[in-house]
């Protein structure tokens, strides 16, 4: 899990966009399950899917206004 903040130059900060929480899971199934659970009532900004490098990634703002980044490695 990783958390980081957003500097003021990135725009107006409101609850939820001043930071994000990133989680990297071990398996695609686990990451897909977590992303689906967080997606309930959320605004999905980037659907959980395979990226250009073979890893999986998705982002959303949950029903409480918190930004989440979910990822997992692709098949080896």
CA distance 55 to 51: 6
Q: How far is CA 32 from CA 5, 9, 23, 74, in A?
A: 25, 33, 12, 12
Q: In this predicted structure, what is the pLDDT of residue 72?
A: 96
Domains of the chain (ranges plus CATH)? 19-72 (3.10.180.10)
Tokens representing 64 are 């409480």
For residue 39, count other CB atoms closer than 10 A to its CB: 18
pTM of the complete model: 0.77
pLDDT digits (tens, 9 = 90+) for 5-41: 566 665 666 665 567 889 999 999 999 999 999 999 9
Dihedral sign (CA 34, 40, 42, 45): positive
d(CA 8, CA 49) in angstroms, rounded, equals 30
Task: Give pLDDT tens digits for 36-60.
Answer: 999 999 999 999 999 999 999 999 9
């Amino acid at each position: 899990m990783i958390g980081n903040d957003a500097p003021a130059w990135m725009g107006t900060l409101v609850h939820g966009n001043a930071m994000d929480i990133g989680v990297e899971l071990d398996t695609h199934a686990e990451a897909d399950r977590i992303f689906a659970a967080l997606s309930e009532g959320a605004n999905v900004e980037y659907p959980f899917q395979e990226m250009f490098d073979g890893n999986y990634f998705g982002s959303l703002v949950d029903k409480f206004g918190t930004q989440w980044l979910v990822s997992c490695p692709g098949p080896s």
